[in-house]
């Protein structure tokens, strides 16, 4: 069995956020096709950087 961890930040470079609906559509159409044996999505918070440090909501 292979264990893979993917981290998706939900903040865009312009400061806006990815909506729950947009992320769910991405999960349904992209992640589900790649991770065919199933997956678990966990909400989280953390710090990230795109030139400057910022607070970021995330999905793991």
Terminal Cα distance for the chain, rounded: 19
CA distance linking residue 48 with residue 15, whole number of Å: 12
Domain segments of the chain as ranges: 8-59
Q: How far apart are CA 28 and CA 54, in angstroms?
A: 28
Model confidence pLDDT, tens digit, residues 5-42: 888 888 888 878 899 999 999 999 998 898 888 888 88
Residue 45 is predicted with a pLDDT of: 73
What pLDDT score does 11 carry? Answer: 81
52 versus 7: the higher-pLDDT residue is 7
DSSP-assigned beta bridge partners for residue 11:
17
On whether the pTM is more than 0.75, the answer is no
The predicted structure's pLDDT at residue 58: 67
Distance (Å, whole) CA 28 – CA 24 = 6
């Amino acid at each position: 069995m292979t264990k893979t961890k993917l981290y998706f930040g939900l903040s865009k470079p312009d400061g806006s956020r990815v909506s729950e609906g947009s992320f769910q559509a991405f999960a349904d159409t992209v992640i589900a096709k790649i991770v065919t044996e199933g997956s678990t999505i966990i909400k989280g918070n953390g710090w990230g950087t795109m030139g400057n440090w910022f607070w970021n909501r995330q999905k793991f």
